[in-house]
């Protein structure tokens, strides 16, 4: 028996036994922070026990709307009222969108995934938790684990990309970093895995729109990251706005109870997304707010964010018999359990300390460096110390967009520009040319005098995030014109791309001698880029998403099943038969990335070419390895990737599935044997009923630099 768990249960039941129905429903109510004259009535609602949690922001699209400074004294006063004056003395849970940084801003989550370094990601989220809890934040609405194959969707920036294995690794890293080794400690925050489920599959990349996801795809692609978050100890989950196959998730017992709780094993509480309960009317499954509340609570949605459906209508739903008080009790039980585990009863108030963020900024720089992906390098990078460098483009002196969307508390004025950081490295050898505008000054002679031209281009942070879908993922016409104009000077040109989402690369990469994809990489983005350009650091990022040639080729993702005809275009099989007017092979595939050296792989070797299914079921694993040699002159990190292909199965399987990666530093001239142990949990799949199966048959194993590797061996499950 778990004594601690048993003690928590006893405490919870003791609290619930004394609560009125109104107070119980209050624990399930999460309004947003009051504005102006609303504050006094808000305090009265706290006194009445009608508020269980407070959203520490204002508006549905807080990630792109200014939120102002956190008033810690105000939140402490609300907490004092809750603890000292409310009927049951239950503390309030304060939640805020601390997505990829607080005061110190780290790379957007999609960029973090590009680091292929979960340990560093987890360390950075520990930094984030320390900063955020210092401002009285108990609960952050991250990690976002929405698998996405359509970069038109603005929220692709918040997730781990197109691969479920990477998604699971990032889920574990963020949950572990945010919640720490003890969730009850004052510098630990509650994590919230979101959005459950399928939000990233919104049709056409249009935010909030419908999705069609088969149960097979749900279990094998969309659910793994959530399973990982649950196993890592995530205590809260946020439901998604969207419907899946005609069922709004907000009111779906299938998704919130049968799958999330019963199959994935989640035992924390579920919070709705902003106004998602009342939107059931617009979605056409409810006619009144009371029906919205009843459908949602009966489905397993515990806390209602902002729209007041629960606090205004659940009492009447209980009286009318559409909702049992026992259902409400169970939701309250989950909320109180989380509050107790988080130590909220013992430490309800924020106690601010002076924080030295020096180490956090160093971690931010390290992660920004490891997230940058070198896509192309034709003998330009690193830039020679003797070279005269011209810097041009809209991002040369940009600050705010380096931080990215969903940055509520980071400050643009504290963020160095690329020009400032490159000046530190290049001194008077750097000329910043026309950096404040895209207009070309034909009389400017500085570019002609430069040995290397760095083009700082990309997309504004305002074009990314929630409700920021775009129909065209190419960069702007004036930036493309700028690239072509720079090329006419005959100088070596380096494209430094600051984007939140994947963009179409066909019209860009051909006119550049080198391309570094640096994303919106946070407070230390510019310093990290400068380090890479001048060879202080060797780039080691890898793509967690496919970069297509054209916008019209999406969706384009690597873990696709094979066509019955010879047109597996992603893998180069007769791509001209996919479209007659273009070649839909990726410009840069999943897992791709260069560095300042070269690596040579041996053929993969397995300790055995056969393993019995019964041995796998008993826990036996098989080791596959390859020797990786650094054949260049620079010590650098290589991300060694393991993919599998189930050759013949009862259901179609992907042509490649990532099943392991190891980021390894290898000295110049050195060789490292990289090994992977794979077993039962790696070699199977989920059927359409959510049952995990491993079947007998042949499995191809690939070890290489990216998903297109043909460096393979084969085993057989017998």
- Main-chain dihedrals φ then ψ at residue 244, nearest 5 degrees: -125, 115
Q: What are phi and psi of 294, to 5 degrees?
A: -65, -45
Q: What are the beta bridge partners of residue 700?
A: 645, 714
pLDDT at 436: 44
Measured CA distances, 348 to 257, 331, 481, 704 (Å): 30, 21, 56, 50
What number of other Cβ atoms are within 10 A of residue 650's Cβ?
11
Domain check: are 365 and 436 in the same one? yes
Percent of the chain surpassing pLDDT 90: 92
Asked if residues 570 and 586 have their Cβ atoms less than 8 Å apart, the reply is yes
Q: Is residue 57 part of a domain?
A: no
- Angstrom distance (rounded) from CA 705 to CA 699: 19
For the chain, give the percent of residues with pLDDT over 70: 98
Rg, the chain, Cα only: 26
Q: How many CB atoms lie within 10 A of CB 453?
A: 28
Our count of domains for the chain comes to 3
Are the C-beta atoms of 301 and 250 separated by less than 8 Å? yes
Backbone phi, then psi, for 657, in 5-degree steps? -135, 125
One domain for residues 386 and 411:
yes
Which pLDDT tens digit goes with each residue over 589-643? 999 999 999 999 999 999 999 999 999 999 999 999 999 999 999 999 999 999 9
Average pLDDT over residues 307-312: 98
- For the question of residue 451 being annotated catalytic, the response is no
Please tell me whether residues 311 and 365 are part of one structural domain.
Answer: no
pTM exceeding the 0.75 threshold for the entire prediction:
yes
Report yes or no on 242 lying in a domain: yes
- Boundary (domain end) residue, out of 288, 309, 341: 341
Gap between the Cα atoms of 598 and 595, Å rounded: 7
The encoded tokens of residue 547 equal 């970069």
What mean pLDDT, rounded, does the chain reach?
95
State the angle between helix axes of 118-133 and 164-179 in degrees (0 to 180), rounded to the nearest 10: 40
Give the integer Cα–Cα distance in Å for 188 and 182.
7
Per-residue DSSP letter, 219: I
| DSSP collapsed to 3 states, 239-290 | ECCCEECCEEHHHCHHHHHHHHHHHCCCCCEEECCCCCCCCHHHHCCCCCHH
Asked if the model's pLDDT at residue 1 lies above 60, the reply is no
Question: Is residue 65, in this structure, part of any structural domain at all?
Answer: no
Q: What is the mean pLDDT of residues 42-56?
A: 98
Which of 341, 373, 391 is at the close of a domain? Answer: 341
What average pLDDT does the segment 511-535 reach?
98
pLDDT, residue 5, reads 79
Q: Residue 659: what are its φ and ψ, rounded to 5°?
A: -130, 5
Average pLDDT over residues 260-288: 98
CB-based contacts of 2, cutoff 8 Å, min separation 6? none
Q: Based on the domain organization, do 298 and 365 belong to the same domain?
A: no
| Residue 572 pLDDT exceeds 60 | yes
Tell me which residue range forms the domain holding 541.
358-553
Tokens of 362: 């160093």
CATH number at residue 483: 3.40.50.1700
Q: How far apart are CA 476 and CA 473, in angstroms?
A: 9
In a domain, 372, yes or no: yes
Contact (CB, 8 A) for 135 and 94: no
* Selected catalytic residue, list 97, 135, 163, 273: 273
Q: Are residues 327 and 362 in the same domain?
A: no
Quick check: is 58 in a domain? no
Structure tokens that stand for 503 in this block: 């963009």
Pair (308, 397) in one structural domain: no
pLDDT at 131: 98
CATH number (domain holding residue 682)? 2.60.40.10
Rounded CA separation 362/25 (Å): 45
Domain assignment present for 462: yes
Q: What is the pLDDT of residues 442-468, one digit of tens each?
A: 436 677 889 999 999 999 999 999 999
Same domain, 528 and 621: no
Looking at the fold, whether 370 and 331 belong to one and the same domain comes out as: no
What angle is formed at CA 552 by the lines to CA 546 and CA 557, rounded to 5 degrees?
25
Q: 652 lies in a domain?
A: yes
Task: Tell me if 670 sits within 8 A of 633, measured CB to CB.
Answer: no
Question: In whole angstroms, what is the distance from residue 360 CA to residue 368 CA?
Answer: 12
Residue 332 belongs to a domain with what CATH number? 3.20.20.300
Within 10 A of 378 (CB to CB), how many other CB atoms are there? Answer: 10
Residues 334 and 365 in one domain: no
Q: Are residues 536 and 392 in the same domain?
A: yes
Question: Residue 47 pLDDT > 50, yes or no?
Answer: yes
Predicted local distance difference test score (pLDDT) of residue 696? 98
Inter-residue contact 55 to 459 (CB < 8 Å): no
Q: What are the residues whose beta carbons fall under 8 Å from the beta carbon of 165, sequence distance 6 or more? A: 224, 657, 658, 659, 660
CA atoms of 457 and 241, how far apart (whole Å): 33
pLDDT digits (tens, 9 = 90+) for 675-708: 999 999 999 999 999 999 999 999 999 999 999 9
Summarize pLDDT for 228-262 with one digit per residue, the tens: 999 999 999 999 999 999 999 999 999 999 999 99
- Tell me how far apart the alpha carbons of residues 35 and 556 are, in angstroms, rounded to a whole number: 44
Find the largest Cα–Cα distance for the chain: 81
pLDDT in tens, 176-197: 999 999 999 999 999 999 999 9
Residue 335 shares a structural domain with residue 364: no
Q: Is 296 helix (H, G, I), strand (E, B) or coil?
A: helix
- Tell me the mean pLDDT in the region 273-292: 98
User: Average of pLDDT values for 26-42?
Assistant: 95
**Last residue of one domain, picked from the residues 341, 366, 385:** 341
Please answer whether residues 403 and 412 qualify as being in contact, where contact means their C-beta atoms are separated by less than 8 angstroms. yes
The CA distances from residue 467 to 222, 396, 615, in Å, are 21, 27, 49
Instruction: Give the span between the Cα atoms of 60 and 556, in whole angstroms.
Output: 30
**Number of other residues whose CB lies within 10 A of the CB of residue 510:** 11
Does residue 217 lie in a domain region? yes
Looking at the fold, whether 393 and 297 belong to one and the same domain comes out as no
Residues in the chain: 718
């Amino acid at each position: 028996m778990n004594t601690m768990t048993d003690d928590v249960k006893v405490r919870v039941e003791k609290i619930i036994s004394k609560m009125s129905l109104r107070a119980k429903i209050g624990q399930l109510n999460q309004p947003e922070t009051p504005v102006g004259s609303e504050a006094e009535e808000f305090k009265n609602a706290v006194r009445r026990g009608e508020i269980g949690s407070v959203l520490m922001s204002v508006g549905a699209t807080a990630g792109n709307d200014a939120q102002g400074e956190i008033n810690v004294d105000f939140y402490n006063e609300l907490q004092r009222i809750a603890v000292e004056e409310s009927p049951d003395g239950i503390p309030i849970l304060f939640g805020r969108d601390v997505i990829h940084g607080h005061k110190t801003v780290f790379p957007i989550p999609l960029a973090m995934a590009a680091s292929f370094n979960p340990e560093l990601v987890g360390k950075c989220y520990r930094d984030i938790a320390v900063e955020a809890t210092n401002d009285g934040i108990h609960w952050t609405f991250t990690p976002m684990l929405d698998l996405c194959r359509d970069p038109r969707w603005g929220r692709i920036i918040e997730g781990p990309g197109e691969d479920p294995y990477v998604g699971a690794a990032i889920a574990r890293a963020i949950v572990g970093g945010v919640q720490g080794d003890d969730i009850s400690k004052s510098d630990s925050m509650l994590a919230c895995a979101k959005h459950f489920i399928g939000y990233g599959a919104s049709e056409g990349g249009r935010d909030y729109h419908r999705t069609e996801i088969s149960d097979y795809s749900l279990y094998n692609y969309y659910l793994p990251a959530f399973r990982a978050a649950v196993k890592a100890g995530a205590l809260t989950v946020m439901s998604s706005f969207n419907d899946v196959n005609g069922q709004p998730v907000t009111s779906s017992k299938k998704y919130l109870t049968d799958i999330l709780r019963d199959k994935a094993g989640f035992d924390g509480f579920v919070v709705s997304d902003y106004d998602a309960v009342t939107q059931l009317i617009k979605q056409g499954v409810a006619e009144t707010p009371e029906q919205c509340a009843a459908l949602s609570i009966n489905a397993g949605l515990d806390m209602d964010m902002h729209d007041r459906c629960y606090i205004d209508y659940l009492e009447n739903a209980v009286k009318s018999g559409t909702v049992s008080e026992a259902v409400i009790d169970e939701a309250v039980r989950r909320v109180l359990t989380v509050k107790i585990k988080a130590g909220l009863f013992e430490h309800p108030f924020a106690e601010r300390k002076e924080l030295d963020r020096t180490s956090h900024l160093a971690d931010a720089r390290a992660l920004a460096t490891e997230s940058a992906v070198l896509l192309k390098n034709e003998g330009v990078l690193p830039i020679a110390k003797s070279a005269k460098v011209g810097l041009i483009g809209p991002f040369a002196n940009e600050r705010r967009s380096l931080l990215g969307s969903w940055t509520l508390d980071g400050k643009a004025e504290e963020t160095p520009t690329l020009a400032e950081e490159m000046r530190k490295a290049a001194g008077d050898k750097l000329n910043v040319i026309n950096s404040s505008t895209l207009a070309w000054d034909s009389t400017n002679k500085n570019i002609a005098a430069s040995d290397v031209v760095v083009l700082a281009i990309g997309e504004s942070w305002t074009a990314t995030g929630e409700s920021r879908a775009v129909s065209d993922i190419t960069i702007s016409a004036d930036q493309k014109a700028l690239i072509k104009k720079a090329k006419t000077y005959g100088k070596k040109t380096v494209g430094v791309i600051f984007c939140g989402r994947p963009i179409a690369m066909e019209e860009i990469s051909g006119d550049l001698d080198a391309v570094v994809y640096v994303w919106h990489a946070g407070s230390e983005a510019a310093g990290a880029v400068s380090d890479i350009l001048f060879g202080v650091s060797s780039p080691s990022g890898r793509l967690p998403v496919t970069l297509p040639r054209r916008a019209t080729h999406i969706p384009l993702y690597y873990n696709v099943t094979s066509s019955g005809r010879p047109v597996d275009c992603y893998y180069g099989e007769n791509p001209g038969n996919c479209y007659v007017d273009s070649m839909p092979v990726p410009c840069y595939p999943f897992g791709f990335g260069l560095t300042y050296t070269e690596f040579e792989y041996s053929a993969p070797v397995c300790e055995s070419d056969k393993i019995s299914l019964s041995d796998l079921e008993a826990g036996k694993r098989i080791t596959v390895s390859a020797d990786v040699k650094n054949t260049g002159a620079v010590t650098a990190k290589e991300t060694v990737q393991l993919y599998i292909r189930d050759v013949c199965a009862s259901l179609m399987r992907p042509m490649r599935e990532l099943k392991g990666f190891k980021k390894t530093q290898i000295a110049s001239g050195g060789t490292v044997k990289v090994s992977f142990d794979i077993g039962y949990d790696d070699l199977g799949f989920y059927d359409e009923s959510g049952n995990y199966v491993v079947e007998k048959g042949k499995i191809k194993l690939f070890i290489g630099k990216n998903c297109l590797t043909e460096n393979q061996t084969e085993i057989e499950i017998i």
